């Protein structure tokens, strides 16, 4: 069997076997249990090596009694080491089921839903039921045509939960800002020209007190000037107060529904303020977790406390990925290829069929790295020299960063750049 050498800039080459390999190495399993995971109920199907159904396909509840029914059915089929169990990584619903089965000593593999979807497409007729899905998973296990999904450990799971929650809260803050603008612009379209950032501290305090122009007109100039001076700690003075008052007088905003717009803006701003202590609490937890993750991750270019913790939570254990390309595909950074006959699509977009949290983390790290002297900046400069857009060049750097991450996490050592930063 031939082998190929994978070279990562700044790192030692690694030999990887090349050839036709099974998706999953088979052991001496004689029973295969497929589990279709749901929110309140799960469905099981158990077959043998000849694909004969041993246990009638049935459902059980997501509670202690239902789990005991599953364990009884598994016990009747044979010894634990002869049974292979598979389930889809459906949201978070598989967590408790996977934990229970592994604690009982069973071998459990978690599948990407894309794998079972491909199995369903092989059938002539389109059919979708929980019983059929459980049977398809069992067949995939029997044939060995599957690849296990990533199962994080204790620390990695904690990192994943904390960083993903922070990402969602930040995204929620962005959505709240959009909603504020959607309610503010119809009644006061001139407001966004008054501040460089409409959501600065001074602007938010003003909107909390006077969200619509008629509210501002009830203030006299001296009172408004004093309010802005205190809110901005002396950075804004009479000129801004005059501009705000004039903008309120000459506003072309609509006059209908002002009470509703006023209430909506105030409620949304209050909700944004309530999220601040939550984000601060998460940030403190992230800084604590950063002290527990491997230190070599902190040597990566473009790394921050948040990115290191998020990265560890998304890719550990790294042994799940046999090659750097698998990590690139897991992040959804692999290019889509579309060819038909003589047609070859001129543009190659990334697939985005992977973890969006990992992809965002890698992209932000790459974006920071291209402004730092080093290997990744050289990659970015080459892509820009090829007339690639800045965003496309950063995406290419993120793919390169995947190879570096795979190498240093596999070797468990610091990243040593090949291009030494120039001395000032």
pLDDT tens, 28-39?
Answer: 788 999 998 888
pLDDT of residue 284: 96
pLDDT of residue 373: 87
Residues 247 and 304 grouped into a single domain: no
Residues 44 and 122 grouped into a single domain: yes
Residue 126 has pLDDT above 50, yes or no: yes
CA 309 – CA 289 distance, rounded (Å) = 7
Tokens matching residue 177: 């800002």
Residue 119 has pLDDT above 60, yes or no: no
Q: What's the rounded mean pLDDT across residues 39-59? A: 89
- Residue 13 pLDDT grade (very low, low, confident, very high; cuts 50, 70, 90): very low
Residues 98 and 164 grouped into a single domain: no
- Residue 420 pLDDT grade (very low, low, confident, very high; cuts 50, 70, 90): low
Q: CA distances (Å), 210 to each of 60, 206, 245, in order?
A: 56, 6, 12
Q: Does 317 sit behind a cis peptide bond, omega within 30 degrees of 0 on the bond before it? A: yes
Q: pLDDT: is 184 or 136 the higher one? A: 184
Q: pLDDT: is 37 or 116 the higher one? A: 37
Instruction: Give domain status of residue 399, yes or no.
Output: yes
Instruction: Give domain status of residue 291, yes or no.
Output: yes
Instruction: Give domain status of residue 51, yes or no.
Output: yes
Residues 159 and 137 grouped into a single domain: no
Instruction: Give domain status of residue 2, yes or no.
Output: no
Residue 361 has pLDDT above 70, yes or no: yes
- pTM, to two decimals: 0.79
Residues 306 and 167 grouped into a single domain: yes
pLDDT of residue 114: 63
What kind and span of H or E run contains 269? helix 258-290
Residues 264 and 227 grouped into a single domain: yes
- Closest C-alpha among 191, 189, 187, 212 to residue 200: 191
Instruction: Give domain status of residue 148, yes or no.
Output: no
Residues 289 and 409 grouped into a single domain: yes
Summarised one tens digit per residue, pLDDT across range 247-288 is 999 999 998 999 999 999 999 999 999 999 999 999 999 999
Residues 393 and 336 grouped into a single domain: yes
CA 76 – CA 71 distance, rounded (Å) = 9
Residues 54 and 161 grouped into a single domain: no
pLDDT of residue 10: 43
What CATH number does residue 89 fall under? 3.30.420.40
pLDDT of residue 117: 57
Instruction: Give domain status of residue 17, yes or no.
Output: no
> What's the total number of domains in the chain?
3
pLDDT of residue 18: 37
Classify 343 as helix, strand or coil. Answer: strand
Q: Could you tell me the residue range of the domain that residue 245 belongs to? A: 179-276
First-last CA distance in the chain: 50
Instruction: Give domain status of residue 10, yes or no.
Output: no
pLDDT of residue 280: 95
Residues 166 and 252 grouped into a single domain: no
Residues 162 and 51 grouped into a single domain: no
Residues 309 and 267 grouped into a single domain: no
């Amino acid at each position: 069997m031939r082998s190929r050498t994978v070279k990562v800039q700044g790192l030692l080459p690694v030999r990887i076997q090349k050839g036709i390999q099974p998706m999953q190495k088979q052991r001496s399993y004689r029973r295969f249990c497929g589990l279709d995971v749901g929110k309140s109920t799960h469905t099981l199907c158990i077959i043998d090596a000849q694909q004969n159904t041993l246990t009638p396909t049935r459902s059980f509840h997501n509670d202690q009694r239902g789990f005991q029914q599953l364990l009884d059915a598994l016990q009747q089929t044979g010894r634990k080491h002869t049974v292979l169990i598979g389930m889809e990584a459906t949201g978070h619903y598989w967590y408790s089921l996977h934990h229970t089965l592994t604690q009982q000593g069973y071998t459990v593999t978690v599948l990407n839903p894309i794998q079972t979807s491909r199995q369903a497409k092989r059938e002539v007729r389109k059919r979708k039921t929980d019983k059929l899905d459980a049977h398809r998973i069992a067949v995939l296990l029997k044939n060995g045509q599957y690849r296990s999904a990533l199962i994080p450990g204790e620390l990695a799971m904690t990192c994943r939960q904390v960083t993903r929650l922070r990402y969602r809260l930040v995204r929620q803050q962005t959505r709240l800002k959009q909603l504020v603008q959607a309610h503010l612009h119809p009644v006061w379209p001139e407001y966004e020209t008054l501040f460089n950032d409409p959501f600065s501290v001074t602007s938010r305090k003003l909107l909390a007190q006077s969200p619509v122009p008629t509210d501002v007109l009830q203030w006299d100039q001296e009172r408004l000037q004093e309010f802005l001076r205190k809110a901005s700690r002396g950075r804004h003075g009479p000129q801004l107060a005059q501009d705000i008052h004039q903008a309120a007088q000459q506003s072309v905003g609509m006059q209908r529904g002002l009470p509703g717009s006023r209430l909506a803006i105030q409620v949304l701003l209050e909700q944004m303020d309530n999220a601040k202590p939550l984000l601060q609490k998460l940030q403190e937890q992230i800084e604590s977790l950063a002290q527990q993750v491997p230190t070599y991750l902190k040597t990566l270019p473009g790394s921050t406390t948040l990115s290191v913790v998020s990265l560890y939570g998304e890719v550990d254990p790294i042994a799940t990925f046999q090659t750097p390309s698998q990590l690139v595909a897991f992040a959804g950074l692999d290019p889509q290829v579309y060819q038909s006959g003589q047609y070859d699509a001129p543009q190659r977009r990334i697939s985005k069929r992977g973890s969006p949290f990992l992809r965002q983390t890698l992209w932000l790290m790459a974006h920071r790295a291209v402004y730092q002297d080093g290997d990744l900046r050289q990659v970015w400069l080459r892509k820009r020299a090829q007339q690639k857009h800045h965003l496309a060049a950063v995406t290419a750097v993120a793919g390169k960063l995947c190879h570096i991450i795979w190498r240093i996490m596999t070797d468990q050592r610091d990243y040593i750049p090949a291009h030494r930063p120039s001395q000032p």
